[in-house]
Structure 1
Amino acid sequence: MKPEFSSDEELIAALRNSDEHALQLLLKRYHVTLSKFAFLILKRRDLAQEASTNVFVNIWCRRRSLLIKTSLRSYLYSAVSNQALKLLSRQPKHEPISLEEVSPEELADTRRTDTELLFKEFEAQIEDVLSRMPDQRRLIFRMSKIDGMLYKEIADTLNISEWTVQNHMVQANRQIAEALPEFRANWLNRDTEDR
């Protein structure tokens, strides 16, 4: 019977000793979760899978000298975040889809209300502003606003300071507020109260 490692430290030690079962267990525990996290950044399943797989390949290649100063979970999330940002930087920039490009069938759908259309337009405008942000700022904004993560969680995941997270959020909110002054209301300003 193969051992089930009771702690991450035991798992890391086994990896350093080239234990393939430890790698399989690591994949089983984290691959799906890391792929989902990478998908939040990349918005493409194939690239998310690639980012996650690259992390495990790198771990295996560097297993003998593997040094993890944080928790294994934080290390993996930070590594997949870096891989995703690297893949994202290699992707060509796409123009956002405008409301005019919505198909006539979608517009004719009687279940779609004016509010839904306005929200879709707002969403497209936000995506346009986000696409012009630096990769890390965009990622931090998504982690905070879309995933609902606290600044401390974001800082731990990305292995940066909370101050850096806060600074990026202030800059992102300012950038959105300047680009979309009509949507400046509570949605953007609730950060400082919640965090």
Structure 2
Amino acid sequence: MAAVTHRLINEKELFAAFADGDEVAFRQIYHHYKKRIFPFVLKMTRSGDSTEEIVQEVFIQLWLSRVSFQNVQYPTSYIFNLASNKTLNYLKKVANDANLVKKAAYDRAEWSTNTEDTIAFNESLAMINSAVSELPSQRQLIYRLSREEGLSLEEIADRLDISRSTVKNQLGHALRSIRDFLERRASMFTLLLFLLNNKK
């Protein structure tokens, strides 16, 4: 137990030094985390060259935003989330096949093996659920019947005893409301998860 505590204290001191602009601390972080995030990004891009570029961008941004690390509670989660955002942004630009991006998002979830690494993903799902809960009751019900139960417009109309056009209009309003909510309050990763799981 003492060894674990010592390691965590050293890690906190290392990131504190990095936040103060210590280049030696930055190099240690770079060498430690590059070995971890490279295979993580490669799993999503399937390209060694692209992965190398993304990893370099991650550490460039990390250095440029080092001052903000003074307020980061979970550095590992922060770095992996940064790598995830960079990767998904890259895939969004180069891939017309949205399924590739969607698979990458779920590969990210499967890759995570501890609580810190899954925080960002779980928070994204919670944010989407919060957006859904903000909808008016009928609109929320229609959204859940469509997206969570997989019912067709006709099936929803029959169940709720309303017209198909009403269902379609209400579902469209729901999707726009959720998207607007996430654009204002959520990260790019959260917004992508929602958009990719709600393509018509």
TM-score w.r.t. structure 2 length? Answer: 0.51
Deviation at 1:161, TM superposition (A): 4.0
Tell me which amino acid in the other structure corresponds to 1:138. K
* Percent identical: 20
Q: Which residue of 1 aligns with 2:77?
A: 74
Query: Are 2:48 and 1:45 aligned?
Result: yes
Query: Are 2:105 and 1:140 aligned?
Result: yes
Map Cα deviations across residues 50-93 of structure 1 (whole Å, 9 max, x no partner): 22111111111122233453411111110000011111122143
Divergent runs of 4+, >6 A: 150-154
Query: Are 2:24 and 1:17 aligned?
Result: no
Tell me which amino acid in the other structure corresponds to 1:72. P
Unaligned runs of 5+ in 2: 1-6, 130-146, 151-200
What SS does structure 2 have at the residue aligned with 1:30?
helix
Change in 2 beyond 3 A, CA 1:148/1:13: closer
Map Cα deviations across residues 106-155 of structure 1 (whole Å, 9 max, x no partner): xxxxxxxxxxxxxxxxxxxxxxxxx43383x43333345xx465797774
How far apart, in 2, do the equivalents of 1:90 and 1:12 lie?
32
TM-score w.r.t. structure 1 length? Answer: 0.52
Q: How many equivalent pairs are there? A: 129
Aligned partner (choices 118, 123, 128) of residue 160 of structure 1: 123
Unaligned runs of 5+ in 1: 94-130, 175-195
